[in-house]
Amino acid sequence: MKNFETALIPAIIQDFNTKEVLMFGYMNDEALKKTIKGPNVWFYSRSKKRLWEKGESSGNNLVVEKIMTDCDNDALLIIVKPKGPTCHTGSISCFNDNILEGLQFSNPTIFNELFNIIEYRKNNPDKKSYTSKLFSEGNDLISQKVIEELCELIVEFNSTKKNNERIIEEACDLLFHLMVMISFKGINFNDLSAELEERKKH
């Protein structure tokens, strides 16, 4: 790598599981050394002129999994497992404002964001959280809810009434509980993506 002792290093942070870009920051040589030592990511604050550990006040640390350099050795890609929302606003990622929003019809990252929240609730139980309750009850409750939501979706689908809004609501309920189910079994979106990619070949 280039000599970073007197320079600031651009660092892109990416989620290990979802591959979503979470944030961008700068490191100096000392912050990089602390990050390499682990377990969490450190940055250099240009405004406060000091080192800071991501999550030092919120507890939403970024646990280092891999550190990569680009082809010119002047930028870093740091692969992490976040311990909570990365952005100070409470969002999973700091990149939320789509400047091409008017040209798009959907938000594909919403599924990754939801799955990240589900994973967070699994790893950080909260007695007031419905999601945490599902994980604590385990197989029986999760299976029951998936079957229940599937049945409700089928009922709305077969209804003679024009009720697309209800179908959307029930489909979202089913998707949520399916995400909880696969998370409970330690399956992530990368596993599903790999399977779908394989099916495209047939």
The pLDDT assigned to 6 comes to: 54
- Give φ, ψ of 91 to 5 degrees: -80, 155
For 149, phi and psi rounded to 5 degrees? Answer: -70, -35
C-alpha neighbours within 13 Å on the C-beta side of residue 44: 19
Q: Which amino acid is at 43?
A: F
At the topology level, CATH places domain 101-199 in: Helix Hairpins (1.10.287)
Give the single-character DSSP code of 161.
Answer: S
CA distances from 75 to 26, 93, 156 (A): 9, 20, 52
Question: Would you state the pLDDT for residue 191?
Answer: 82
- Is 78 within 8 Å of 84 (Cβ atoms)? no
Residue 8 pLDDT: 85
pLDDT digits (tens, 9 = 90+) for 2-20: 554 457 888 999 999 988 8
Question: Which pLDDT value is given to residue 104?
Answer: 47
pTM of the model: 0.50
The architecture (CATH level 2) of 9-82 comes to Roll (3.10)
Q: Is the N-terminal amide bond of 10 cis, ω within 30° of 0? A: no
Q: Dihedrals φ, ψ of 96, to 5°?
A: -125, -20
Those residues of the chain that have pLDDT short of 50 are 1, 4-5, 102-105
Pairing of strands 76-82, 9-15: parallel
Q: Residues 135, 121: contact at Cβ < 8 Å?
A: yes
Give domain limits for the chain. 9-82, 101-199
Backbone angles phi and psi of 6, in degrees to 5: -115, 5
Determine the Cα–Cα distance for residues 53 and 112; give it in Å rounded to an integer.
Answer: 25
Phi/psi of residue 187, nearest 5 degrees: -95, 140
Q: What is the DSSP code (8-state) at residue 78?
A: E
What is the per-residue pLDDT for 35?
95
